[in-house]
């Protein structure tokens, strides 16, 4: 945990950020080997108490998700002085008190289930606490946001029931409109968008419409705004845009239903042959070759400052930077 002296914010913002439980609901590390987690210290120094680490997505074979979970769990055990794999929310509060970063895992796309809803229980045991249906393209569970707008398949519906039973959070980021709305309707637990921005502010297919935001909130869920530059606005990966998306959603559904899933990529790699071979997941028109960057973990205290400057009350800020997603975990995890 940082004392916050290096953060470029007021003493009031730093004190609030230090004291609040700060929750980053999604980070992608593009697993190749466990040492990709060496940069986690950046999160801890930025005063972040919890991060959901992505362990796999539909673009890669499901067996690589299992390998990543094994490798990441070993890496975390070897770094027990600074990082903790949380089982429940009490572990996250304890990690904060100890100055450590708490983590769990997420999966983007149900190809990782290999057609077996029983895998939900296995992944939960391994530390996966949230999972979304389809990564951009339609799959055996439902629709992705860059594909034909379809709803949940019978298998997708079976998985929702299993996630509810096991206590895994149902996530609808990256999904088709219909799939997201049907999952919110079907799930008996609140559903989240772990990392999705407002389409009304920036017209990208990965961003979500007002009816999705409203349905999610009406069912008790939380939407995490994301710092991926191409989903933010004309200036790309700047905290200013992130705050605009937060502010828009707060206007729409209130401060209790908005959080942050930053998706900071620390060291973006140039596009290579693997990317080109999987180009259908990132259609050219939506993902032009010029990258627009990622908001970095260090922006968290800057967001706190910006929200205070906009007149947000301290309790609302605490909710947005962590309390709201913490509440969902308390409700859903078992
Ligand atoms: Zn994602």
Q: Under CATH, to which class is 11-332 assigned?
A: alpha beta
**Structure confidence at residue 179 (pLDDT):** 98
Tell me how far the alpha carbon of residue 113 lies from the centroid of ligand 1, in angstroms: 18
Query: Hey, where are the domains in the chain?
Result: 11-332
Tell me how far the alpha carbon of residue 89 lies from the centroid of ligand 1, in angstroms: 23
Tell me how far the alpha carbon of residue 174 lies from the centroid of ligand 1, in angstroms: 7
Under-50 pLDDT residues of the chain: none
Tell me how far the alpha carbon of residue 107 lies from the centroid of ligand 1, in angstroms: 9
Does the model's pTM come out above 0.75? yes
The C-alpha atoms of residue 40 and residue 293 are separated, in whole angstroms, by 18
Tell me how far the alpha carbon of residue 13 lies from the centroid of ligand 1, in angstroms: 29
**Structure confidence at residue 276 (pLDDT):** 83
Tell me how far the alpha carbon of residue 227 lies from the centroid of ligand 1, in angstroms: 11
**Structure confidence at residue 75 (pLDDT):** 98
Tell me how far the alpha carbon of residue 256 lies from the centroid of ligand 1, in angstroms: 23
Quick one: CA dihedral 38, 40, 44, 47, positive or negative? positive
Tell me how far the alpha carbon of residue 263 lies from the centroid of ligand 1, in angstroms: 7
Tell me how far the alpha carbon of residue 235 lies from the centroid of ligand 1, in angstroms: 20
């Amino acid at each position: 945990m940082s004392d916050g002296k290096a953060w470029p914010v007021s003493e009031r913002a730093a004190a609030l950020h230090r004291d609040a439980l700060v929750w980053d609901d999604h980070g992608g590390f593009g697993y190749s080997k466990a040492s990709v987690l060496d940069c986690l210290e950046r999160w801890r120094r930025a005063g972040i108490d919890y991060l959901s680490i992505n362990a796999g997505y539909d673009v890669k074979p499901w067996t690589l998700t299992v390998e990543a979970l094994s490798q990441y769990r070993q890496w975390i055990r070897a770094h027990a002085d600074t990082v903790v794999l949380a089982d429940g929310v009490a572990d996250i509060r304890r990690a904060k008190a100890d100055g450590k970063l708490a983590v769990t895992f997420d999966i983007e796309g149900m190809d990782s289930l290999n057609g077996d809803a029983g895998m939900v229980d296995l992944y939960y045991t391994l530390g996966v606490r949230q999972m979304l249906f389809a990564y951009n393209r339609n799959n055996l569970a439902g629709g992705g946001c860059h594909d034909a707008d379809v709803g949940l398949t019978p298998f997708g519906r079976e998985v929702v029931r299993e996630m509810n039973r096991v206590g895994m959070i149902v996530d609808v980021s990256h999904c088709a409109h219909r799939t997201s709305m049907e999952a919110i309707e079907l799930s008996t637990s609140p559903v989240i968008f772990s990392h999705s921005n407002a389409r009304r502010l920036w017209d990208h297919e990965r961003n979500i419409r007002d009816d999705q935001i409203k349905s999610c909130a009406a069912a008790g869920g939380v939407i995490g705004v994301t710092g991926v530059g191409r989903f933010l606005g004309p200036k790309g990966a700047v905290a200013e845009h992130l705050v605009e998306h937060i502010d828009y959603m707060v206007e729409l559904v209130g401060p209790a239903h908005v959080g942050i899933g930053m998706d900071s990529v620390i060291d973006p790699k140039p596009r290579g042959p693997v990317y080109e071979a999987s180009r259908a997941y990132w259609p050219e028109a939506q993902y032009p070759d010029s990258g627009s960057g990622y908001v970095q973990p260090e922006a968290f205290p800057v967001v706190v400052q910006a929200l205070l400057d906009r007149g947000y009350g301290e309790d609302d800020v605490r909710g947005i930077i962590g309390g709201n997603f913490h509440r969902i975990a308390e409700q859903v995890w078992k």
